[in-house]
Amino acid sequence: MNIQCSQLDDLLFDASPLAMETAARHAEGCAGCAERLASWNDLTSTAQSMQVTWNNDLLWPRIERALRQEQRRPTSWLRNAAAAAILTITLGGTMFYALRVQTHDAAFDRKIIGISALDDVERAERAHIAAIEKLERLAESKLEDAESPLLVSYKEKLMLLDDAIAECETNIARNRQNAHLRKQLLSMYTDKQQTLQDVLREDTDVSTP
Amino acid sequence: MYPLRNLLLAFLLIVVALPLAAEDDDDSRFEAKYGKNFAFSGGRVTIDHSFGDLVVRTHQGNDVQVRATIRSSDEDLGKAIRIVADSGPSGVTVTTNYPTIRNRSGRLSFSVDMTVTIPANAPVTAKNSFGNVDARGLQASSVLENRQGSIVLQDVRGSHALSNQFGSIDASNARGDLTIANQNGSIAVRNVDGAITVANRFGSVTVTDVERAATIANANGSIEAMDIGGALKATNAFGNIEASTIGGPADITTSNARVQLSNVTGPASVRNSFGTVIVKAVNGLLTVNGDNSKVEASDIGGNVAINTGFGAVTLQNVRGAARVENSNGNIRVSDLSGNLVAITRFGSVHAERIRGAADVESSNGGVTLKEIGSGAKVNTNFGPVFIDGVGGGVTVENANGAISVAGIRGNGCHPISLRTNFSSIKLSLPDAAAYTVNARTSFGRIHTDLPITTSGMTENTLSGTIGRGGCKLDLTNANGNITIEKD
């Protein structure tokens, strides 16, 4: 096999016996290439003379362990899935428990309102009472001199409301957080407020068609 | 570094935190369940409950099942609440007993929700206060009473009596009669295969789809009644009444409110004062007594009688006669099959397309009559009278208003008598008219376009005949002209 000088480096890097033999044969007829081949051989022999090896007792067991771990790795997804499932079940169970507790508490709250909510309710009631007192002052003279049947009817309604409010308040005194009583009282306050507003709106002379 | 471990720790924290977060600020809550069954061997189921909702249901068994949830803000108080139930020959009684509470701290609160499931055919009396009542599926009579809570009755048979004080009442799908009373809460009734009697004071009443008669009384709340198979009697003091599609007669009373009534199979009677009355499509007679009410009525199958004070009256399309009296309001009538009598003092009268006769009395209002099938009679003082198109005799007595009559139609004698004092008289007659004329005025002129064979004439009087004469024509004025024209 004949080669060109430019191909010598490729043969040297190949370093296979056939490549080295081809390079040597070419060098026999080429002085430049013979010199380069000789330098390469020197370098190779020098490098080989510099090689140092040593034995390490721990290295191989570590490699084996790593290999074993590597072999076990295909089953790790199963472990992750199991962990995820456990976490999901735990989380789901916790959420279910928490929701149940909350639902239970909400049902309780619908019947017996909490102290913090009670403050809000009583604040709303106070606002209603203040508004009602103001309206009552404005409507007082009109109701006292009620002559038209409609105003008399409003007066009756207000008396009925006052009786019911008093009854409700008596029961609230011994059952303060009972949600139904509070709701009922608020509703009657609203009704009374509305009725007083109707009284004030009502023209004293109802003869206008 | 250890993601899985961190994740687990996070979840553990959530596991611990969530229930804690769900805890309320009050940790002294007490809740207990009660459940017992009692044999029912006849009699009645009687329930006396308070401070909580009461649910009544039915089943096919023979026992009474009592279930309750007792809730309290205090454990001792909660444990002291008793549900006492007993079974005997007279039936089953269930009572909720609360201990005497001296609530100085104001922190004690309680509530008991109860569900009682009874045999379907067992009659029941259920009382509650400060809680709602919900009864469904009852197949025998019941008495439901409540104070300050709502009542719901649904899908029942038999007669039922419901009463409440301050809460709504909602009854639906009942095959039987219902008697409902409330003080200050709304009443809603739907789909009743029987008769109903409803009484309220200050809440609204809505009744829909009742097979038989409905009697509704209210004081100061609205009434709505739709699709009533039998008679409707609705009485109110100050609330609006709206009723439609009534299978029998309708009797409506209210004041200071609006009445709307439509599609009544039988006769209708409406009494109102100071409110508008609107009536449409009544097959029978219509009577409206509206003191100071505006009245609008149309499509009436029978005779109509309307009496009001200061509101306008509009009446349309009546297949009978009509009598309308109004003190100080206008009267407008059209398309009447029978006779019309219209009486007003200070309002105008406008009537057209009246098949029968028109008889109008007015003091100070103008009168316009058009297309009157039979005779027309008008008596007024200060308003003008216009009559155009009349198929009978005409008599107009006026004092200070003009009179104009035209369009005398039909064969035969239609006597005409027109009288006024301080205005003009104008009469248009057809060519073929035959009248014996007697016209006179004191300070006016008499002018005629029709040929008159005179039998006597002065400056202010005219006697004679038009055509062949025979039919009486009297025209009397004091201070105005008299004109006879060709029609």
pLDDT of residue A207: 41
Q: Would A107 be classed as within a structural domain? A: no
- B21, pLDDT greater than 90: no
Residues of A in contact with B202 (CB under 8 A): 157, 160
Which one, of B266, B297, B265, lies nearest residue B280 by Cα? B297
Q: Is the pLDDT of residue A78 over 90?
A: no
Of A74, A101, A128, the domain-final residue: A101
**Can you tell me the mean pLDDT for B100-106?**
68
**Given CB atoms, is B113 within the 8 Å cutoff of chain A?**
yes
Q: Which residues of A are less than 8 Å from B114 in CB distance?
A: none
pLDDT-above-90 percentage for chain A: 22
Residue A57 confidence (pLDDT): 67
What's the confidence (pLDDT) of residue A195? 92
Q: If 0-12 CB within 10 Å is exposed, 13-18 middle and 19+ buried, where does residue B332 land?
A: buried
**pLDDT tier at B7, thresholds 50, 70, 90:** low
- Region at A136 (left for phi over 0; alpha for psi -120 to 50; beta for the rest): alpha
CA dihedral in degrees (A192, A197, A198, A204; nearest 10)? 120
pLDDT at B1: 45
**Residue B292 to residues A206, B190, B235, B238, B307: CA-CA distances in angstroms?**
11, 34, 18, 14, 9
Q: How many CB atoms lie within 10 A of CB B331?
A: 28
The token pair at B49 is 């409950």
- Please judge whether A164 and B166 are an interchain contact, meaning their C-beta atoms are less than 8 angstroms apart: yes
The answer on A135 and A90 residing in a single domain is no
Give the nearest partner residue to B149 out of A157, A180, A206, using CB atoms. A180
Q: Residues of B numbered 299-358 whose beta carbons fall under 8 angstroms of chain A's beta carbons: which are they?
A: 310-311
Q: Do A161 and B256 touch (CB under 8 A)?
A: no
- The per-residue pLDDT for range A95-153, each reduced to its tens digit, is 877 777 677 677 888 888 888 888 888 888 899 899 999 999 999 888 888 888 888 88
**Is the residue at A194 inside a domain?**
yes
What's the rounded Cα separation, in Å, for the pair B54 and B127?
A: 9
pLDDT at B306 over 70: yes
A117 and A157 in a single domain? The answer is: yes
Helix ranges restricted to H, chain A? 8-14, 17-28, 31-50, 59-72, 76-111, 115-144, 149-173, 179-201
| pLDDT band, residue A206 (cuts 50/70/90) | very low
Asked if the C-beta of B184 comes within 8 angstroms of chain A's C-beta atoms, the answer is yes
Which of A142-151, B44-53, B68-77 ranks highest by mean pLDDT? B44-53
Tens of pLDDT, residues B239-257: 999 999 999 999 999 988 9
Write phi, then psi, for B273 (nearest 5 degrees): -145, 140
**What would the pLDDT profile of B277-290 be if each residue is shown by its tens digit?**
999 999 999 999 98
pLDDT higher than 70, residue B276: yes
A137 CB-contact burial (10 Å; exposed 0-12 / middle 13-18 / buried 19+): exposed
Which one of A109, A111, A167, A201 would you mutate to disrupt binding with B, by most B Cβ within 10 Å of its Cβ? A111
pLDDT at B26: 54
Task: Specify whether A93 is located in the same domain as A116.
Answer: no
Number of domains forming the structure of chain A? 3
Has residue A186 been placed in a domain? yes
Question: Both A94 and A141 in a single domain?
Answer: no
Residue of B nearest to A198 (CA): B220
pLDDT at position A178 over 50: yes
Residues 14 to 33 of B: which have CB under 8 A from any A CB? 14-15, 18-19, 21-26, 29, 31
Query: Higher confidence at residue A40 or residue B212?
Result: B212
Contact B274/A at CB under 8 A: yes
**Distance in Å, alpha carbon of B202 to nearest chain A alpha carbon:** 7
Per-domain residue ranges of chain B: 27-124
Question: Min CA distance, B15 vs chain A (Å)?
Answer: 6
Q: Say whether residue A172 is in contact with chain B using an 8 A CB cutoff.
A: no
pTM above threshold 0.80 = no
Query: B-chain residues within 8 Å CB-CB of A188?
Result: 166
Q: Is B460 on the interface with A (CB under 8 A)?
A: no
* % of chain B with per-residue pLDDT over 90: 76
Taking the alpha carbons at both ends of chain B, their separation in whole angstroms is 116
pLDDT at B16 over 90: no
Among A65-79, B23-37, B254-268, the range of highest mean pLDDT: B254-268
Q: Answer whether residue A207 is part of any domain.
A: no
Q: Domain check: are A121 and A196 in the same one? A: yes
Look up residue A178 and give its DSSP letter: B
Of residues B178 and A11, more confidently modeled: B178
> What is the structure's pLDDT at B12?
59
| Residue indicated by tokens 């009447």 | B336
- Whether pLDDT at B210 is above 90: yes
Comparing CB atoms, the residue among B31, B101, B111 nearest residue A174 is B101
> Could you tell me if B310 and B294 are in contact, meaning their C-beta atoms sit under 8 angstroms apart?
no
Question: Are A98 and B18 within 8 A, CB to CB?
Answer: yes
Chain B interface test: which of A89, A95, A108 (most B C-beta within 10 Å): A108
Pick the residue from chain A with its C-alpha nearest to B202. Answer: A157
Give me the mean pLDDT over the B68-81 stretch. 92
Q: Is some CB atom of chain B closer than 8 A to the CB atom of A108?
A: yes
| A vs B: CB pairs below 8 A | 141
Question: Model confidence over B110-160: pLDDT tens digits?
Answer: 999 999 999 999 999 999 999 999 999 999 999 999 999 999 999 999 999
B468 vs chain A: nearest CA distance in angstroms?
55
Q: A141 phi and psi, to 5 degrees? A: -65, -40
Q: Is A55 on the interface with B (CB under 8 A)?
A: no
By C-alpha distance, the chain A residue nearest B258 is A209
In a domain, A56, yes or no: no
Distance from CA of B29 to the nearest CA of A (A): 8
Residues of chain B positioned with their CB less than 8 A from the CB of A154: 220
Q: Would A20 be classed as within a structural domain?
A: yes
> A150 with A185, same domain?
yes
**Predicted confidence (pLDDT) at residue A19 exceeds the cutoff of 90:** no
The confidence score (pLDDT) of residue A205 equals 45
A 128-167 near B (Cβ less than 8 A)? 149-150, 153-154, 156-157, 160-161, 164, 167
SS3 state of residue B45? strand
DSSP-derived secondary structure for B116-153: EEEETT--EEEEEESS-EEEE---S-EEEEEESS-EEE
pLDDT at res. B412: 85
Q: Is A96 on the interface with B (CB under 8 A)?
A: no
Sorting pLDDT into bands at 50, 70 and 90, what band is A208?
very low
Task: With CB atoms and an 8 Å threshold, state whether B109 touches A177.
Answer: yes
B405 touches B423 (CB < 8 A): no
Give domain status of residue A206, yes or no. Answer: no
Cβ-based contacts of B24 with chain A (< 8 Å): 105, 108-109, 114
* Chain B residues whose beta carbon lies within 8 Å of the beta carbon of residue A153: 219-220, 237-238
- ipTM of the complex as predicted: 0.73
- Token pair in block for residue B58: 């039915």
| Host domain of residue A134 | 112-201
Q: Looking at residue B247, what DSSP letter applies?
A: S
CB contact under 8 A, B274 and A149: no
Using a CB–CB cutoff of 8 Å, tell me whether A89 touches chain B.
Answer: no
Contact: B255, A149; criterion CB under 8 Å = yes
Residue A76: the pLDDT is 67
Contact state of A91 with B184 under an 8 Å Cβ cutoff: no
User: CB distance A180–B275 less than 8 Å?
Assistant: no
pLDDT surpassing 80 at residue A176: yes
Residue A208 lies in a domain: no
For residue B42, pLDDT beyond 70: yes
* Burial status of residue A124 (CB atoms within 10 A of its CB: 0-12, 13-18, 19 or more): middle
pLDDT at B22: 47
